[in-house]
Amino acid sequence: MNATGVIVEYNPFHNGHAFHLEQAKKISGAETIIAVMSGNFLQRGEPALVSKWKRAEMALRAGADIVFELPYQFAVQQADIFASGAVSILEAAGCSSLCFGSESGSMQSFHQTLSFLEEHNAAYQERVRVHLDAGFSYPKATSMAFLDLNPEGELVDLSKPNNILGFQYLKSARRQFSSMELFTVERKSAGYHDEQFASDSIASATSIRKALFSKNGEIECIRQYVPESTYQGLLQYKKEFGGFHQWEQYWPFLKFRLVHLQPEKLRDIYEMEEGLEHRFLSAAIQAESFQQFMEKIKTKRYTWTRLQRACVHILTNTEKTEMPNKPLKAEYLHLLGMSKNGRKYLNSHKSDLKLPLISRISSHAAHQLQLDIKASRVYAMGIDGARDRTLMQKEFNQPPIMVD
């Protein structure tokens, strides 16, 4: 059986994601879609709207065949490390191709951009340093450095979020000598960061989440932008756990951690650079909400995303020694769920998988897995009352979800 891979977060799964899965299968000619999905905390340093189990179920009911978890060690990371872990999982799972969404929609432009930057690497790195020294964030510095080189031809706009990730997927695939062929599908109607609904059926996950929280979790307002399986899944999750996850629920825990940590201990946390610890500690004492806290610590040099990721690592007490500062590969395939077709694929390819397949985590001690467990426990704390125990226990008791 032939499989194509997708790298996703599904926060939540919406009609644009359904279009991507449909196109991925059509373009690649694959019989099976394998999704690598971030766990309970996401690349932008946010708690997922609903748990990884519910998001995996939504994906399976809307067209995915297999969902593997992207370990915390890669999921809550900068783009190159995020991409490296995800690509290594798809390669290990036997995918013949990888299909990603982008603002560009042209695979040729990605290849040309990578060739251009490899040819001009020394000049590019020098311009990046110039902009970093001027106080710009790393993503802004890299985008400005690229424009400084005055590239010509059909190249990718590396200021766009999905283009950035797609470019890193291509770089990771080449670095890992992957046999996968890469395809891209152009995003339709809504941009990644769009906060308002832009059409009658397609909306960004950002705008969907904003609508949910502005309506106090009322789900009807987003119904036209998500598959029915997502709509029903959100209703069920809200009924079972009382609502959806967002940063404000974790603010009391983050503030408690900050006001009790000594500056030297805070410096040990991953993504905390020297000097930031004092800014965090001062803001924590003054702020009354997570939003206020973020507004106080935000600077030109550090993106909102980078600071949120640091906050996640403080919550989970993840130290610099526990996280890679360069691209590495995953250590296992943690199976969250599969369809009937996905089960057929795994049965026929089980002996060919290049990493251990994990369906229950209790009997495994991989370091990457221990970070996942810790993150899941913290994530469950965002649920009020006894419900948090139910969510916490799922990490050990939940078998892979089966959808026919």
Query: Is there a domain that residue 57 lies in?
Result: no
Residue ranges at the known binding site: 7-20, 101, 162, 187
Note the pLDDT of residue 149. 85
* pLDDT for 198: 58
Residues 6+ apart with CB under 8 A from 367: 73, 322, 331
State yes or no: pLDDT of 201 exceeds 90: no
Mean residue pLDDT across the chain: 91
Does residue 292 sit within a domain? yes
Structural domain contains residue 270: yes
| Res. 78 pLDDT band, cuts 50 70 90 | very high
pLDDT confidence tier of residue 15, bands split at 50, 70 and 90: very high
Domain count, the chain: 1
Length reported for the chain: 404
Q: Which range of residues forms the domain containing residue 282?
A: 251-320
Distance of CA 81 to the CA centre of its chain: 11
Q: How confident is the model at residue 197 (pLDDT cuts 50, 70, 90)?
A: low
Residue 326: per-residue pLDDT: 82
Q: What is the pLDDT of residue 139?
A: 82
User: What average pLDDT does the segment 148-176 reach?
Assistant: 89
Q: Note whether 255 and 249 are within 8 A (CB).
A: no
Domain-located, residue 393: no
Q: Is 152 part of any domain?
A: no
Is residue 14 scored above 90 in pLDDT? Answer: yes
Least confident window among 130-139, 187-196, 251-260, 370-379 = 187-196
Region 66-93: mean pLDDT is: 97
In whole angstroms, give the CA distance from residue 368 to residue 334.
11
Q: Can the peptide bond before residue 12 be classed as cis, meaning omega within 30 degrees of 0? A: yes
135/37: higher pLDDT: 37
pLDDT at 64 over 80: yes
pLDDT at 159: 84
Question: 3-state secondary structure string, 154-205?
Answer: CCCCCCCHHHHHHHHHHHHHHHCCCCCEEEEEECCCCCCCCCCCCCCCCCCH
As a three-state string, the secondary structure of the chain is CCEEEEEECCCCCCHHHHHHHHHHHHHHCCCEEEEEEECCECCCCCECCCCHHHHHHHHHHCCCCEEEEECHHHHCCCHHHHHHHHHHHHHHCCCCEEEEEECCCCHHHHHHHHHHHHHCHHHHHHHHHHHHHCCCCHHHHHHHHHHHCCCCCCCCCCCCHHHHHHHHHHHHHHHCCCCCEEEEEECCCCCCCCCCCCCCCCCCHHHHHHHHHHCCCCCHHHHHHCCHHHHHHHHHHHHHHCCCCCHHHHHHHHHHHHHHCCHHHHCCECCCCCCHHHHHHHHHHHCCCHHHHHHHHCCCCCCHHHHHHHHHHHHCCCEHHHCCCCCCCCCCEEEEEEEHHHHHHHHHHHHHCCCCEECCCCCCCCHHHHHHHHHHHHHHCCCCCCHHHHHHHHHHHCCCEEEC
pLDDT band with cut points at 50, 70 and 90 for residue 137: confident
**Residue 313 lies inside a defined structural domain of this protein:** yes
- pLDDT tens-digit map of 377-396: 999 998 876 677 777 877 77
Binding-site residues for ATP: 7-20, 101, 162, 187
Interval 215-233: pLDDT, tens: 766 889 899 999 999 999 9
| 368 pLDDT tier (thresholds 50, 70, 90) | confident
